């Protein structure tokens, strides 16, 4: 450990790049059951953040921007639980592309991780939807929470696919940057503070997060007694947003930082173990 880090200074960007690369190797080599269990947790954590967001923005009279900001800060609960509590989130795991570009892990290893983690995230989201419906959270506020959830889902389902794709790209740029910044911290406080602005920004700005949408859209389908939200529109959103998330995380964050810090191979002894 260098002197700066000994006294709690943040890791420098080149050091973060090495840490992210090493993290990618560990995640690619993790056993399937561990990945799946931690991914289910992440899906549940993101769902709780999404539910918190829904509650906070319901019946707010603070104005559009301020309400969205407060909702975004509330949504940060999900990523704080993922990063601090320890869980596997598909969008953040797009950073595995750095270890792949350095030829430390195979394409098969990356796809195995993404597939297991995405599956686990979906299971965690759908399980949380079941619990939320069972608990009748939608009835809170005289049914206002349920109506807000439906408004959110209708907006997502009606979003043109090209816009959903672009919002998916922008979303995961900020999510992966949040993970990147958190990797630069040493304490729990450092990591939480690093997450707050990027995550609250993507929510405030209306960007699209595929795993959060696996909570919002199924919940909306259950609550939508009039059938205004279709399964086809929901699945189309999920597919396009997932693709956008991959582009944003792999190319615009992992790819750019790999080019900046990792494109020149070091001596073997300088590589993270």
Q: If you write DSSP's letter for every residue of 36-59 in order, what string do you get?
A: HHHHHHHHHHHHHHHHHHHHHHTT
Residue 204 in tokens = 């405030």
| The residue to which tokens 């790819």 are assigned | 255
Question: How far is it, in rounded angstroms, from Cα 89 to Cα 67?
Answer: 26
Encoded tokens for 243? 């693709």
- Nearest one of 119, 95, 271 to 183, comparing CA atoms: 95
Q: Apex CA 177: angle with CA 171 and CA 178, to 5°? A: 90
The tens digit of pLDDT for each residue in 112-156 reads 999 999 999 999 999 999 999 999 999 999 999 999 999 999 999
- Looking at residue 1, its pLDDT comes to 44
Give 173-228 pLDDT, tens digit per residue.
Answer: 999 999 999 999 999 999 999 999 999 999 999 999 999 999 999 999 999 988 88
273: confidence class by pLDDT, cuts 50, 70, 90: very low
Among 55-59, 88-92, 269-273, whose mean pLDDT is lowest?
A: 269-273
Query: What CA–CA distances, in Å, run from 117 to 19, 44, 132?
Result: 20, 13, 22
With beta carbons less than 8 A apart as the criterion, state whether 38 and 86 touch. yes
So what's the pLDDT on residue 226?
A: 86
Picking from 5-9, 89-93, 243-247, which range would have the lowest pLDDT averaged per residue? 5-9
Confidence band, pLDDT 50/70/90 cuts, at residue 264:
confident
Instruction: Output the pLDDT for position 266.
Output: 62
**Buried-exposed string 89-100: b where 16+ CB fall within 10 A, e elsewhere:** bbbbbbbbbbbb
SS3 state of residue 66:
helix
pLDDT at 8: 59
Higher pLDDT, residue 232 or 273 = 232
241, 189 contact by CB (below 8 A): no
Q: How far apart are CA 235 and CA 105, in angstroms?
A: 31
Unique residue bearing structure tokens 């900020």: 174
Residue 12 Cα distances to 61, 135, 178, 198, 267, angstroms: 42, 45, 15, 18, 20
Closest CA to 79 of 98, 58, 52: 52
Q: Give the residue among 199, 152, 142 at the shortest CA–CA distance from 51.
A: 152
Structure confidence by residue, pLDDT tens digits, 34-83: 999 999 999 999 999 999 999 999 998 899 999 999 999 999 999 999 99
pTM score of the predicted model: 0.92
| Domain covering 21-263: architecture | Up-down Bundle (1.20)
Tell me what the mean pLDDT of segment 8-29 comes to.
92
What was the pLDDT predicted at 10? 82
Does residue 2 carry a pLDDT above 80?
no
CB 95 within 8 Å of CB 127: no
């Amino acid at each position: 450990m260098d002197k700066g880090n000994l006294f709690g200074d943040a890791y420098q960007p080149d050091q973060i790049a090495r840490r992210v690369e090493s993290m990618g190797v560990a995640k690619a080599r993790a056993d399937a059951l561990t990945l799946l269990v931690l991914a289910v947790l992440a899906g549940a954590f993101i769902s709780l953040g999404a539910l918190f967001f829904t509650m906070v923005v319901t019946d707010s009279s603070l104005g559009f921007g301020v309400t969205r900001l407060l909702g975004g800060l509330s949504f940060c609960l999900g990523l704080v639980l993922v990063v601090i509590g320890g869980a596997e989130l598909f969008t953040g795991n797009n950073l595995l592309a750095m270890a792949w570009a350095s030829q430390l892990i195979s394409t098969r290893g990356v796809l195995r991780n993404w597939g297991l983690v995405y599956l686990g995230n979906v299971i965690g989201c759908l399980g949380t939807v079941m619990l939320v419906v069972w608990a009748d959270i939608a009835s809170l506020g005289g049914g206002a929470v349920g109506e807000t959830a439906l408004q959110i889902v209708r907006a997502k389902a009606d979003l043109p696919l090209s816009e959903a794709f672009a919002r998916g790209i922008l979303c995961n740029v900020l999510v992966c940057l949040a993970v990147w910044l958190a990797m630069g911290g040493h304490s729990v406080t450092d990591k939480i503070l690093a997450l707050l602005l990027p995550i609250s920004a993507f929510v405030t700005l209306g960007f699209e997060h595929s795993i959060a949408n696996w909570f919002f859209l199924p919940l909306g389908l259950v609550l939508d007694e009039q059938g205004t939200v279709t399964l086809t529109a929901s699945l189309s959103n999920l597919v396009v947003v997932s693709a956008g998330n991959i582009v944003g995380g792999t190319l615009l964050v992992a790819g750019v930082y790999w080019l900046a810090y990792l494109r020149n191979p070091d001596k073997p002894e300088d590589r993270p173990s």
